[in-house]
Structure 1
Amino acid sequence: MRESAQTVQSVERALMIMECFTLEKPQQSLGELAAQTSLSKSTIYRLLTTLAKCGYIKQDELTQKYSLGFKLFNLGAVVAGDMSLRDTALPFMKRLCDELSETVDLNIIEADQRVCIEMVESSEQIRNIVKVGQRNALWTGASGKVLLAHLEEAERRRILDEAKILNQLSIEESVLEKELEAIRTQGYVFSIDDRLKGSFAIASPIFNHTEKLIGGITAAGPIHRLSEERKPFIIKQVMYTAYKISEAMGDSGAKNRYPLLLTL
């Protein structure tokens, strides 16, 4: 296997080793892995040692055989959870986009950042564009703040403390905390010119069957399409969409999490 400008040989080899483990043969010896990959035992040993250090491989002390580590199980659970949320949310997102004629995006928290995992783009000539996979800090923009606000306090505190140490916070912490409290109380966040100048965004949180925050839905567009008469309608539609997605994800008490909807 030759290394090219597009690939890293050591990464390819590590993945090749991990793919040797199957349901039929979950444990492998060094010799068995060498036979299947045609790599030298010394190369495989170095890669296995690195993977084991990072939690992706484990070794049985008695048999000395290797198997996949629980880190992969955790990553698989993240992927499965995201796919379920994406698949569930997409029909609701398309409906919201049709109703508002604004871009709608679905976001989760991954590695202490806001990550867009799905987007339905507005058909309007002038529109917000959000890229799937796009990452941003949790304390900037409606999409991030609605997630940060609804995290458990200890987790939120850890993220903000780390940001302060690294001098990354772009807003006074006391001001941010008041804003996050207001978001939790009203069940949505509305912002203008927060992350992107000339645009508005409205976001609301999504919960699952364990009443745990799993994501947030956002509608965003250019500020010239936001009138005072239209604003309440957009807020209610975004919240209603978040409520319906939460309900579809098994949150039996979903409506109580969106105070504005109780008046509808």
Structure 2
Amino acid sequence: MEKDSQYINSICRAIEVIELFSKLQVKYLGVSEISKHLNLHKTTTFRILKTLEYVGWIEQHQENSKYKLTTNILRASIGVRNNFDLKEIISTEMEKLSKKYNENIVLTTIIDKIGVWINMIKSTHVLSEDVESGYTVPLHIGATGKTLLAFKDEKFKNNFIEKNSLIIEETLGKKKLLEDIKTIYKNRFGISNSEVTEGVTAICVPILGAENELLYGLTISGPSTRFTEEILEEMKKDLLQISIRIENELKVFKNKV
């Protein structure tokens, strides 16, 4: 990064460190890795990390001594983009789904071209999927990622597929991915079984804005053994009702403004 008197270089470097987690799509990064990728001295990198840790934007893992982002940074980025009332409505619906099914209820979105889990209610079952906020969502595989991708515009989808062609071919393949997102878009929901995590089933619907733009993905996920055809059908109906109701409310609100 070039130096400029009107900018504070230490802040610019700190932002580069934060963005590196998204660029590399990794959960943990160490001092040496960050130093190498950003061409910074290890001492400088260490000071930046300790500062970010002090303000609560990253935290150090005790076992591997590496650092990861905390949910504080997600709250900051999401907070400026979304209406508080909408988030409150969605949170209420998530609580209802959690009480009814006692499975993981997850809210996701796309930030800077990356799928991210931003809110969740965990299942209380002993046997449940291990999830946490801030986890990046692969957009090329799984009900959640493919649903998010399906409801983005064609330019976004084409760019994503082009830039991630290698990993797509190693998993579903381009043809299968295109077929899946076309079906998801038509049906307004996606279902996957053991695509991302073995033995885990997920069902996801999009939450769209007044202009039919993608806002969020709302997912129910858990062990496949509990997701019978009857349960999946009921989950699908509930999720679709929530999705369509919120979209209609947003359109009504827009017309009143």
Alignment length (residue pairs): 183
Q: Give the conservation status (yes or no) of the 8 Å contact 1:92–1:245.
A: no
CA distance in 1, matches of 2:242, 2:125: 21
**Which ranges of structure 1 fall in alignment gaps of 5 or more residues?**
1-8, 16-75, 254-264
Amino acid at match of 2:11: V
Cα 1:78–1:105 change in 2 (3 A) is closer
Bigger Cα Rg: 1
1:177 deviates by 0.4
Deviations 1:65-93 (A, max 9, x none): xxxxxxxxxxx885322463533311111
Q: Give the conservation status (yes or no) of the 8 Å contact 2:137–2:144.
A: no
- SS of the aligned residue for 1:175 comes to helix
Percent of pairs identical after alignment? 23
1:208 deviates by 1.2
Partner residue, 1:105: 106
Partner residue, 1:213: 214
CA distance in 1, matches of 2:236, 2:96: 15
- SS of the aligned residue for 1:243 comes to helix
- SS of the aligned residue for 1:115 comes to strand
- SS of the aligned residue for 2:119 comes to strand
1:160 deviates by 0.9
Partner residue, 1:198: 199
Partner residue, 2:37: none
Please identify, of 90-99 and 235-244, the stretch whose mean Cα deviation from structure 2 is larger. 235-244
Amino acid at match of 2:217: G
Q: Give the conservation status (yes or no) of the 8 Å contact 2:202–2:222.
A: yes
Counting only pairs closer than 5 Å after superposition, residues 135-150 of structure 1 correspond to structure 2 as: 135-150=136-151
Q: What root-mean-square deviation, in Å, do the aligned CA atoms of Structure 1 and Structure 2 show?
A: 2.6
CA distance in 1, matches of 2:185, 2:146: 10
Deviations 1:125-164 (A, max 9, x none): 2222321111022112111110101111111111111112
**Which ranges of structure 2 fall in alignment gaps of 5 or more residues?**
1-8, 16-75
1:252 deviates by 4.7
Partner residue, 1:11: 11
Deviations 1:169-207 (A, max 9, x none): 232111110111100111100111011111100000011
Partner residue, 1:79: 79
Cα 1:88–1:175 change in 2 (3 A) is same
1:116 deviates by 0.6
Counting only pairs closer than 5 Å after superposition, residues 17-166 of structure 1 correspond to structure 2 as: 79-82=79-82, 84=84, 85-164=86-165
Deviations 1:2-36 (A, max 9, x none): xxxxxxx9239989xxxxxxxxxxxxxxxxxxxxx
Cα 1:214–1:197 change in 2 (3 A) is same
